[in-house]
Chain A
Amino acid sequence: MANTHGSHGSAEHHIIPLGTYLKVFGTLIVLTVVTVLAAKVNFGPFNAVVAFGIASVKATLVLGYFMHLKYDNMMNRVIIASAVLFLILLWFLSILDIVTRVAVESPL
């Protein structure tokens, strides 16, 4: 494994303080309440954008703090980013296909 972060020998892992975990949890609960309340408001075509936008903020908090990515090495961040990237690619190309389909009538 290419080691670019000098982890060899440096035995001390970063320990996230207890208070930070509690603050992150509090924020996650607030965001859950916000998303439930926001679902009662009609944003028209942006309903899904608002709901999944809030979900993505929550996901980022879980990844950054509970899963320690904020203090982790770059490799693990790139690994997770690649999964997200390919998922967006799959979603984007699929949507592009579905919304641009035209029913073709044969002239013959």
Chain B
Amino acid sequence: MSTAKSSGTVPSNQRHHAHHFDSAEHEYQSSKQGVWLFLCTEILMFGGLFVAYAIFHHMFPETFKIGSKFTDVRYGATNTVVLLFSSLTMALGIYYCQVREQKKAVISMAITLLCGFIFMGIKYLEYSHKIHLGLLPGDWYAGNPEMIASEIGNIQLPANIGLYFSFYFMMTGIHGIHVLIGMGLITWAMIRTMKGEFGPEYYTPVEGVGLFWHLVDLVWIYLFPLLYLVS
């Protein structure tokens, strides 16, 4: 799509676009609509997990109450701020493409990528601590009683405590995979911006990648209170 680097003075309906679209603007709107439809499937997939969490929380409130004692709100809040900031820099990446400041757009996307690494780094600290304590999902649960007692005190754990960690690892895990995929997409959009392929006339891929990245942020906005705050 390097031909899209046309001058901004060319009207939308004469700019380069695939033959089955009326104009470049039509192509842009259709592509974006496709991304929104994809985001719907994402919302419904994560939504299913949230509903499952609500059902099992209702059936075994004690399991979820005790399980959530193992999440550290400092890690969760830090990751929330990191992701919100990365959403800002991603939005600025698109903004700088729109105002023809591609160098700043690349810097914005690089910061977004860095935030992705910080998020996954904190995730690594959380995961490795839980695995060290034996707080594994479902049947794999192998909690070390002494280490758990020093963490949350002498509390009798419910027999099905592994259920909580099934939800914890499944929800944060699928979210984490989305962060990694998003980081890959941002790298791709950043490299193409460096090559000068994007500007005010054509930045559809940056917009699409941005929408995906913001969805990852949206899911975390709900995961944070669910796993770290409401117990």
Q: Which residues of A contact B (CB under 8 A)?
A: 1, 3, 7-11, 13, 15-16, 18, 21-22, 24-25, 28-29, 32, 35-36, 39, 47-48, 51-52, 54-55, 58-59, 62-63, 65-68, 72-73, 75-76, 79-80, 82-84, 86-87, 90-91, 94-95, 98-99
Q: Is B72 in the interface zone, CB < 8 Å from A?
A: no
Q: Which residues of B contact A36 (CB under 8 A)?
A: 73, 77, 229
Q: Which residues of B contact A (CB under 8 A)?
A: 11-13, 15, 22-26, 28-30, 32-33, 36-37, 39-40, 43-44, 47-48, 50-51, 54-55, 58-59, 73, 77, 80-81, 84-85, 87-88, 90-92, 95, 98-99, 201, 207, 210-211, 214, 217-218, 221-222, 224-225, 229-230
Contact of A90 with B51 in the complex, beta carbons under 8 Å: yes
Enumerate the 4 nearest inter-chain pairs by beta-carbon distance, A residue then B residue, closest first.
A11-B12, A51-B225, A83-B40, A87-B47
Contact of B214 with A67 in the complex, beta carbons under 8 Å: yes
Contact of B224 with A66 in the complex, beta carbons under 8 Å: no
- In this complex, the member of A10, A25, A55, A67 whose beta carbon has the largest number of chain B beta carbons within 10 angstroms is A67
Contact of A98 with B59 in the complex, beta carbons under 8 Å: yes
In the complex, what residue of chain B is closest to A38 when comparing beta carbons?
A: B229
Once the chains are docked, how many angstroms separate the CA of A26 from the CA of B111? 18
Q: Which residues of A contact B214 (CB under 8 A)?
A: 62-63, 66-67
Q: Which residues of A contact B207 (CB under 8 A)?
A: 68
Of B13, B32, B99, the residue contacting A9 (CB under 8 A) is B13
In the complex, what residue of chain B is closest to A1 when comparing beta carbons?
A: B30
Q: Which residues of A contact B222 (CB under 8 A)?
A: 52, 55, 59
Of B24, B43, B58, B95, the residue contacting A87 (CB under 8 A) is B43
Q: Which residues of B contact A8 (CB under 8 A)?
A: 12-13, 22-23, 25-26
Q: Which residues of A contact B230 (CB under 8 A)?
A: 39, 47-48, 51
Known interface pairs A8-B22, A18-B95, A32-B84; A67-B211 also in contact (CB < 8 Å):
yes
Contact of B221 with A66 in the complex, beta carbons under 8 Å: no
- In this complex, the member of B29, B80, B92 whose beta carbon has the largest number of chain A beta carbons within 10 angstroms is B29
Q: Which residues of A contact B40 (CB under 8 A)?
A: 79-80, 82-83
Q: Which residues of B contact A65 (CB under 8 A)?
A: 91
- A8-B12, A66-B88, A76-B33 are known; give 12 further A-B pairs, CB within 8 A: A8-B26, A9-B12, A13-B28, A24-B88, A29-B81, A32-B84, A51-B229, A67-B214, A79-B33, A84-B43, A91-B51, A94-B54
Contact of A25 with B77 in the complex, beta carbons under 8 Å: no
Q: Which residues of B contact A80 (CB under 8 A)?
A: 36, 39-40, 43
Q: Which residues of A contact B85 (CB under 8 A)?
A: 25
Q: Which residues of A contact B95 (CB under 8 A)?
A: 15-16, 18, 21
Of A25, A54, A86, the residue contacting B225 (CB under 8 A) is A54
Contact of A9 with B51 in the complex, beta carbons under 8 Å: no
Contact of B81 with A32 in the complex, beta carbons under 8 Å: yes
Once the chains are docked, how many angstroms separate the CA of A34 from the CA of B133? 31
